[in-house]
């Protein structure tokens, strides 16, 4: 039996998931990006400096992440590195981007697969936010002449959390999360010039010079967000995990996890807050970016299989036989890997690089009665995202304290050579993000992006290996073909961004 979910809602972009179900379980899954954008073609022939601004337009949720990767890419080509203030300011804007993305994902995108928002219809307390939402939802239900729960639509019916206090608390935090998102976006504008699509990211650092007013404005917003993460996000995530323990056994995927690392803690970038490498079977191997290849046998991106991104090509072929997605199939040393918060947390934890992260992870798992082995799962992805969110938010406070107020050196000068090449390997909220550039005659001759959801939501590769999401869906139980909530829970745990994947 074939089940197609098209589009998958509450993600960024257009994703179609097809499931072959036998005896109530997924035997095979197919992940398809259903549109083409062509940013790499747009960049050809442009001034290299345009790349930072144009690549930010790949995504409205994580433009900062692309801007940082593009800055690193250009810095490698131009031979320039940021001064200390530039490094710290870049960490701060990237940190704010991660925090807003993680909070947004849990409350606005994923939690509605578990929380029974219908509980607000019978709310009888005195909280004004919940009362206003209740009255609005009731009015919407009456106007629609159905038992609708606006604005939480569309949604599947399912086995939602039964505890009313948990449901109402999460609904209230849903509303507060919107405020946290606004605060984080304001933080981005403080040091980035504007938000979204920062104007202050430049090769060699950041154009903003920190002042006392800017630092304290950023800090005041950060204080509210850190309190929300501690008092709402982490407890809500743990409550969901306690209500659905079986999801620690579901959605494992390939088991191999890849990260490039992010948030440099020194000017040379040798030490990073979040580590990089390949995690497999409890151990971490060093990253070798030369092992990355992109397959396209089942992609409409063209017949360009086996190329390293430094020489990759984008040749749209919409009527290609056997292809079923606009997303390419990146592979690391020929293997399928998963990228994202789970990869970063497990690599950082296994490498012992961040005691605070490891301590929080262990405490959370102990509360849930689980070992680190359970992390490679649907619920593990959510827990990793929450743990990472708190660690990054806490580190932002330390980075603020390290800024040199009044020091104008937030960036360095550079010149654009006639020819050059560079790579920027960084992390987006959703996972490993790489940008590659070749400069010819002082303009962009070639540009290639391999983004997190390209890794996770890829189609099969030239050897027929399913992508990470496709593998994670295999074996998932589907109780009702018209209500495949189990499958979409697994898909949303990856936080797909198809606008990025089909860039």
Query: Are 337 and 437 members of one domain?
Result: yes
Q: How far apart are CA 421 and CA 446, in angstroms?
A: 9
Q: How far apart are CA 344 and CA 432, in angstroms?
A: 9
Query: Are 303 and 318 members of one domain?
Result: yes
Domain count across the chain: 2
The secondary structure of residue 232, as a DSSP letter, is I
Boundary-marking domain end, from 105, 131, 159:
159
Q: In percent, how much of the chain has pLDDT > 90? A: 87
Query: Are 90 and 137 members of one domain?
Result: no
Q: How far apart are CA 95 and CA 405, in angstroms?
A: 20
What domain range includes position 151?
A: 117-159
SS3 call for 193: coil
Query: Are 307 and 404 members of one domain?
Result: yes
* 147: pLDDT strictly greater than 90: no
Query: Are 397 and 293 members of one domain?
Result: yes
Q: 3-state SS of 44-55?
A: CCCCCCHHHHHH
Beta carbons of 27 and 474 less than 8 angstroms apart: yes
pLDDT at 381: 98
Length reported for the chain: 503
Q: Which of 190, 196, 171 is nearest to 100 (CA)?
A: 196
What value does the mean pLDDT take over residues 124-147? 85
Query: Are 404 and 475 members of one domain?
Result: yes
Confidence of residue 265 (pLDDT cuts 50, 70, 90): very high
E strands of 192-286, at which residues? Answer: 201-202, 205-206, 257-259, 262-264, 272-274, 277-280, 283-285
Beta carbons of 44 and 412 less than 8 angstroms apart: no
**Which residues have C-beta within 8 Å of that of residue 484, sequence separation ≥ 6?**
3, 5, 19, 156, 478
CATH number of 187's domain? 1.10.645.10
Looking at the DSSP bridge assignments, the partners of residue 280 are: 283
Query: Are 151 and 215 members of one domain?
Result: no
Q: For residue range 436-473, what is the model confidence (pLDDT) as tens digits?
A: 999 999 999 999 999 999 999 999 999 999 999 999 99
Q: How far apart are CA 44 and CA 314, in angstroms?
A: 11
Element (H, E) at 28: strand 25-33
Q: How far apart are CA 264 and CA 404, in angstroms?
A: 17
Query: Are 127 and 191 members of one domain?
Result: no
Residue the block writes with tokens 């929450």: 386
Q: What is the pTM of this model?
A: 0.96
Beta carbons of 467 and 456 less than 8 angstroms apart: yes
Query: Are 29 and 122 members of one domain?
Result: no
Element (H, E) at 424: strand 419-428
Query: Are 297 and 324 members of one domain?
Result: yes
Element (H, E) at 137: helix 128-144
SS3 call for 467: coil
Boundary-marking domain end, from 97, 130, 159:
159
Q: For residue range 397-440, what is the model confidence (pLDDT) as tens digits?
A: 999 999 999 888 999 999 999 999 999 999 999 999 999 999 99
Query: Are 15 and 31 members of one domain?
Result: yes
* 486: pLDDT strictly greater than 70: yes
Query: Are 171 and 150 members of one domain?
Result: no
* 238: pLDDT strictly greater than 80: yes
Tell me how far CA of residue 64 lies from CA of 40, 56, 93, in angstroms.
Answer: 18, 7, 7
The secondary structure of residue 9, as a DSSP letter, is S
Looking at the DSSP bridge assignments, the partners of residue 277 are: 259
Residue the block writes with tokens 């999401």: 469
């Amino acid at each position: 039996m074939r089940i197609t979910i098209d589009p998958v809602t509450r993600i960024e972009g257009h994703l179609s998931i097809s499931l072959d179900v036998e005896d109530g379980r997924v035997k095979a899954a197919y992940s398809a990006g259903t549109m083409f954008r062509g940013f790499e073609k747009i960049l050809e022939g442009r001034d290299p400096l345009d790349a930072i601004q144009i690549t930010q337009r790949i995504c409205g949720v994580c433009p900062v992440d692309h801007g940082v990767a593009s800055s690193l890419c250009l810095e490698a080509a131009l031979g320039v590195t940021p001064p200390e203030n530039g490094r710290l300011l870049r960490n701060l804007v990237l940190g704010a981007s991660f925090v807003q993305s993680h909070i947004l994902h849990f409350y606005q995108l994923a939690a509605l697969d578990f929380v029974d928002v219908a509980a607000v219809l019978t709310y009888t307390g005195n909280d004004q936010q919940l009362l206003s939402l209740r009255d609005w939802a009731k009015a919407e239900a009456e106007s629609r002449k159905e038992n609708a729960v606006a604005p939480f639509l569309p949604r599947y019916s399912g086995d939602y959390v039964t505890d009313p206090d948990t449901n109402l608390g999460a609904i209230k935090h849903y509303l507060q999360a919107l405020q946290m998102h606004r605060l984080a976006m304001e933080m981005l504008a403080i040091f980035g010039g504007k938000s979204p699509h920062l104007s202050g990211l430049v090769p060699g650092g950041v154009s903003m010079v920190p002042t006392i007013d800017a630092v304290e404005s950023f800090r005041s917003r950060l204080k509210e967000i850190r309190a929300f993460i501690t008092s709402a996000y982490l407890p809500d995530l743990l409550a969901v995990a306690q209500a659905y323990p079986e999801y620690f056994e579901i959605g494992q995927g390939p088991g191999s996890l890849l990260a490039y690392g992010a948030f440099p803690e020194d000017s040379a970038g040798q030490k990073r807050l979040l580590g990089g490498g390949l995690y497999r079977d409890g151990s971490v191997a060093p990253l070798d970016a030369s092992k990355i290849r992109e397959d396209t046998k089942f992609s409409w991106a063209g017949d360009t299989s086996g190329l390293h991104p430094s020489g990759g090509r984008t040749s749209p072929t919409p009527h290609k036989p056997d292809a079923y997605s606009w997303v390419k199939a990146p592979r690391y040393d020929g293997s399928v890997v998963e990228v994202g918060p789970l990869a970063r947390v497990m690599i950082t934890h296994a490498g012992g690089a961040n005691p605070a992260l490891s301590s929080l992870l262990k405490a959370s798992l102990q509360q849930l009665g689980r070992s680190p082995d359970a992390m490679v799962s649907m619920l593990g992805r959510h827990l990793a995202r929450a743990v990472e969110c708190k660690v990054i938010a806490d580190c932002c406070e330390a980075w603020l304290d390290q800024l040199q107020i009044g020091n104008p050196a937030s960036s360095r000068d550079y010149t654009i050579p006639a020819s050059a090449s560079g790579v920027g390997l960084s992390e987006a909220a959703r996972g490993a993000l790489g940008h590659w550039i070749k400069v010819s005659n002082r303009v962009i001759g070639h540009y290639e992006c391999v983004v997190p959801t390209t890794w996770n939501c890829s189609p099969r590769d030239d050897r027929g290996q399913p992508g990470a999401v496709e593998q994670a869906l295999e074996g998932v139980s589907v109780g009702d073909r018209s209500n495949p909530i189990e499958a979409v829970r697994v898909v949303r745990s990856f936080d797909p961004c198809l606008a990025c994947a089909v860039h």
